[in-house]
Amino acid sequence: MAQSGTPTPDGQDLSISLARANVYTLAVSLPLVGLMLLAYLELSPAGFVPANTPTLPASLLFLVLLMVGILAHEAIHGLAWSFFGRLPLRRIRFGFQASTLTPYAHALDPLTARAYRIGAVLPALLLGGLPFLVGTIVGSTPPALFGMIFVFAAGGDLLILWLIRGVDPRALVQDHPSRAGCIVLPPRSG
């Protein structure tokens, strides 16, 4: 496999291994979630209110919502790539890489860097930013916590956005089949 940024006959590889992506995700996500926590404590009308010991049903509900959120995260990637990249949904693959405990959505066909970026950022915004914002505004810890967890979970996506920051939005990219990131395809001649 080519190193990130290495030109290949098929284009420029802007990907990293899933194991490395998981490590870098911590470096991206932890400070961001820390800032979110500080913002919640400062801006929430409730401020910091120690939570009562959660009941078993409430804890189970939160775990179910987290599992649904994980599935929704990948579904949002796939649906966004299908819609903005004008790909049939059957050209999006979903799965789970057991060795790195990483769920994934994978676009089988090239799409524009713009569509790729939209699909990469939407889970962070919809499952992270939006619940966090609502929880902070109304002073409710559960949605704010849910949002922080899903911003943390989107750290790899934010890392990918960083990897492709210099790519022209109109350039065609191919989602890497086994690594985090993509290959920027050479311009079509003709």
Residue 50's pLDDT band (cuts 50, 70, 90) = low
Domain extents for the chain?
17-27+65-175
Can you list the alpha helix ranges (DSSP code H) found in 124-181?
Answer: 130-138, 141-153, 155-163
Entry pTM? 0.86
Residue 36's pLDDT band (cuts 50, 70, 90) = very high
For residue 109, give the nearest of 81, 77, 83, 79 by alpha carbon.
Answer: 81
Position 49 scores a pLDDT of: 60
pLDDT at 164 over 90: yes
Nearest 5°: CA angle at 116, between 112 and 150?
170
> What is the tens place of the pLDDT at every residue in 104-156?
899 999 999 999 999 999 999 999 999 999 999 998 888 999 999 999 999 99
> What is the tens place of the pLDDT at every residue in 76-99?
999 999 999 999 999 999 998 887
